[in-house]
């Protein structure tokens, strides 16, 4: 049996597989008939993933889109593992010494849905599906998960499987399948159990969701409790399945999950706002999310993190990021696999890539630069196949692998000086028409224009950050009425730590107010151009939002190596750049 674990060295992570270190860089595609396993194997890639599903059901319950040709447990008591075998064979034929981490979609087949009418919810476009808070769903799905893992671990592929990526819910990202908190009559018994466990009075009916659209705080305490329940129940479900997998594997293999999009998905009805419950779990080794979808994945925008990755790293969890970067080779799914999207609902701008290879290369490099400067792991998600199948893009993929392979633990030459704290309770306490509701998302957009590196944490971690980290300034995005914020404010005052709060009652969150605060506190601003700038982990990268000369000033003289191997030794650089170009420098 292959054994694996994630090891942390400084702020970087590596996979330890049978005692050998591997950089956290991988490749995956949904449409395996369009795979480029051989091309990525030629670039030196050893880590691959495949998607497998309990059932042949849509991953997007709003559109009905599904990438699976069949499910393992579609027929009751007659599991069919042939799709899994075929997927493993394709990878191992291309790369015999590959290590694989299957992305397992934990979703229930039709026969289970029909037998469990009180444990399901209605979805917009995929009929009735399992409720993520359902204990019957957890129990029955755990049996199927154990059966799947037992099959793999007793198969000829056991030595090539080093981890399991557990997924579920809408788009496999553990969102409620109705994107509405699983709100229906079937939720009542589970909500009452939640209330009873917290010594609160049970209710005869679910609270109205109307106040979710408030301009200020939500006044209905039962609604606040329901929104908390909608998020905590998803976190509990993830913990339950990861624990199930870990126990079956004797805690000898890596297990991870999507979750915690506190900076991107503002609605509490999606269920992603209880990351704090999982950060210290011994059953979860990594958390995943895609790059940000803000700006519709267009060039000229920062594709920032969806998760507060500072908190993940603080608690020893690898942020393992999904780089589904559109290129000039990207096709809509119906054009890549006939019949998978007959109504062509995915023929939308967000799935359209740049028109040229040069712009595609800039996009790929920008995504890689963000991950390596922020100490994130990453995989190239060739979603519908052949997105990166050009010499220049494959070379860029190889460069990303090479860069991660040689990372060393050393003190940062240029330190990140700003810590930002966001409160994951905002979304369950404030209505969607409150400006505070959007601030965890907005703070990233504002910071992307400030040309200064930063780390983002959950507000829950303020004590741990001040004890273990050294920052010049602290930015809080929270409510002044929050007890958690009040205790953080008191700590900052007692330790004489510079901070600023952005809430409903304070000045508007914008670049001008941020820059004014940072300059007052002596934080170094690298550029005045508002281009996308990344600094960290021994790298500097700049993505031009407009053409022209860019001037970057450093807080001290540094040694830089550009993409051509040229060495620079200076405290500032000037670069002429085309619009949407990306430049990456190694800091020596």
C-beta separation of 253 from 164 below 8 A: yes
Whether residue 198 is contained in a domain is answered as no
Residue 449 shares a structural domain with residue 514: yes
Residue 344 shares a structural domain with residue 428: no
Residue 379 shares a structural domain with residue 423: no
Whether residue 193 is contained in a domain is answered as no
Say if strands 128-130 and 103-105 run parallel, antiparallel, or are unpaired: unpaired
Q: Which residues lie below 8 Å from residue 512, measured CB to CB, with a gap of 6+?
A: none
Whether residue 201 is contained in a domain is answered as no
Angle of helix 135-153 relative to helix 82-94, nearest 10 degrees, comes to 50
Residue 388 shares a structural domain with residue 421: no
Residue 280 shares a structural domain with residue 174: yes
Count of domains forming the chain:
2
Q: What is the pLDDT along the chain (588 residues), one digit of tens a residue?
A: 899 999 998 889 999 999 999 999 999 999 999 999 999 999 999 999 999 999 999 999 999 999 998 999 999 999 999 999 999 999 999 999 999 999 999 999 999 999 999 999 999 999 999 999 999 999 999 999 999 999 999 999 999 999 999 999 999 999 999 999 999 999 999 999 999 999 999 999 999 999 999 999 999 999 999 999 999 999 999 999 999 999 999 999 999 999 999 999 999 999 999 999 999 999 999 999 999 999 889 999 999 999 999 999 999 999 999 999 999 999 999 999 999 998 899 999 999 999 999 999 999 999 999 999 999 999 999 999 999 999 999 999 999 999 999 988 777 889 999 999 999 999 999 999 999 999 999 999 999 999 999 999 999 999 999 999 999 999 999 999 899 999 999 999 999 999 999 998 787 999 999 999 999 999 999 999 999 999 999 999 999 999 999 999 999 999 999 887 888 888 999 999 999 999 999 998
Q: Tokens 């979710």 sit at which residue?
A: 212
Residue 356 shares a structural domain with residue 431: no
Q: Which of 357, 388, 405 is the last residue before a domain boundary?
A: 405
Residue 53 shares a structural domain with residue 31: yes
Beta strands across the sheet bearing 418-422: 455-458, 418-422, 473-477, 499-502
Residue 400 shares a structural domain with residue 489: no
| CATH code where residue 449 lies | 3.40.50
Sign for the pseudo-dihedral over CA of 53, 56, 60, 65: positive
Whether residue 113 is contained in a domain is answered as yes
Whole domain around residue 480: which residue ranges?
A: 410-588
Sign for the pseudo-dihedral over CA of 134, 140, 142, 144: negative
What is the distance between the alpha carbons of residues 24 and 404, in angstroms, rounded to a whole number?
Answer: 8
Residue 423 shares a structural domain with residue 292: no
Whether residue 545 is contained in a domain is answered as yes
The three-state DSSP-derived secondary structure of 545-587 is: CCCEEEEEEEEEEEEEECCCCCEEEEEEEEEEECCCCEEEEEE
- Whole-prediction pTM: 0.97
Residue 151 shares a structural domain with residue 66: yes
Residue 392 shares a structural domain with residue 416: no
Q: Which of 383, 405, 427 is the last residue before a domain boundary?
A: 405
Residue 269 shares a structural domain with residue 293: yes
Whether residue 473 is contained in a domain is answered as yes
C-beta separation of 381 from 317 below 8 A: no
Q: Which of 375, 405, 435 is the last residue before a domain boundary?
A: 405
| CATH code where residue 124 lies | 3.20.20.80
Whether residue 230 is contained in a domain is answered as yes
Whether residue 219 is contained in a domain is answered as no
């Amino acid at each position: 049996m292959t054994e694996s674990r994630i090891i942390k060295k400084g702020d970087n992570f590596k996979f330890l597989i049978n005692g050998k270190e591997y950089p956290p860089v991988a490749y995956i595609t949904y449409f395996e008939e369009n795979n480029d396993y051989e091309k990525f194997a030629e670039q030196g890639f050893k880590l691959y993933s495949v998607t497998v599903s309990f059932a042949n059901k849509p991953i997007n319950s709003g559109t009905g889109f599904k990438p699976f040709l069949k499910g393992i447990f579609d027929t009751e008591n007659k599991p069919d593992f042939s799709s899994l075998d075929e997927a493993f064979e394709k990878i191992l034929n291309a790369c015999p010494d590959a290590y694989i981490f299957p992305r397992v979609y934990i979703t229930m087949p039709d026969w289970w849905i029909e037998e469990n009418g009180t444990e399901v919810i209605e979805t917009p476009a995929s009929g009735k599906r399992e409720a993520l808070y359902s204990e019957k769903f957890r129990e029955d799905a755990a049996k199927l998960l154990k059966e799947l893992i037992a099959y793999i671990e007793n198969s000829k592929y056991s030595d090539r499987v080093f981890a399991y990526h557990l997924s579920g819910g809408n788009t496999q990202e553990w969102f409620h399948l109705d994107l509405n908190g699983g709100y229906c009559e079937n939720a009542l018994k589970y909500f009452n159990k939640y209330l009873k466990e917290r010594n609160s009075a049970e209710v005869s009916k679910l609270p109205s969701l109307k106040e979710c659209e408030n301009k200020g705080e939500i006044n209905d305490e039962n609604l606040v409790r329901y929104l908390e329940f909608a998020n905590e129940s998803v976190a509990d479900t993830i913990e339950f399945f990861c624990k199930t997998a870990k126990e079956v594997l004797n805690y000898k293999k890596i297990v991870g999950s999507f979750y915690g999009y506190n900076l991107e998905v503002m609605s509490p009805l999606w269920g992603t706002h209880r990351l704090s419950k999982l950060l210290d779990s011994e059953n979860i080794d990594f958390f995943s999310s895609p790059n940000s979808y803000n700006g519709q994945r267009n060039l000229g925008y920062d594709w920032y993190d969806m998760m507060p990755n500072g908190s993940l790293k603080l608690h020893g969890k690898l942020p393992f990021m999904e780089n589904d970067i559109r290129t000039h080779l990207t096709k809509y799914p119906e054009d890549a696999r006939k019949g998978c999207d007959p109504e062509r609902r995915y023929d939308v701008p967000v799935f359209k890539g740049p028109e040229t290879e040069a712009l595609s290369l800039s996009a790929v490099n920008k995504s890689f630069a963000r991950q390596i400067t922020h100490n994130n792991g990453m995989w190239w998600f060739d979603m519908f196949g052949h997105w990166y199948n050009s010499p220049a893009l494959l070379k860029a993929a190889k460069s990303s692998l090479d860069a991660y392979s040689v990372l060393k633990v050393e003190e940062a030459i240029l330190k990140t000086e700003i810590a930002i704290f966001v409160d994951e309770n905002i979304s369950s306490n404030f209505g969607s028409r409150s400006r505070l509701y959007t601030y965890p998302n907005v703070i990233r957009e504002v910071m992307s224009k400030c040309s200064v590196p930063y780390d983002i944490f959950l507000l829950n971690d303020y004590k741990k950050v001040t004890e273990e980290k050294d920052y010049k300034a602290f930015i809080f995005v929270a409510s002044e009425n929050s007890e958690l914020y009040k205790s953080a404010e008191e700590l900052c005052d007692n330790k004489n730590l510079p901070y600023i709060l952005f809430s409903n009652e304070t000045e508007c969150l914008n670049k001008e107010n941020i820059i004014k605060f940072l300059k007052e506190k002596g934080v170094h601003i690298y550029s005045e151009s508002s281009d996308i700038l990344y600094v960290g982990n021994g790298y500097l990268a700049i993505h031009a939002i407009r053409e022209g000369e860019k001037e970057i000033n450093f807080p001290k003289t540094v040694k830089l190596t550009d993409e051509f191997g040229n060495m620079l030794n200076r405290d500032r650089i000037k670069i002429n750049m085309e619009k949407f170009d990306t430049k990456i420098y190694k800091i020596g």
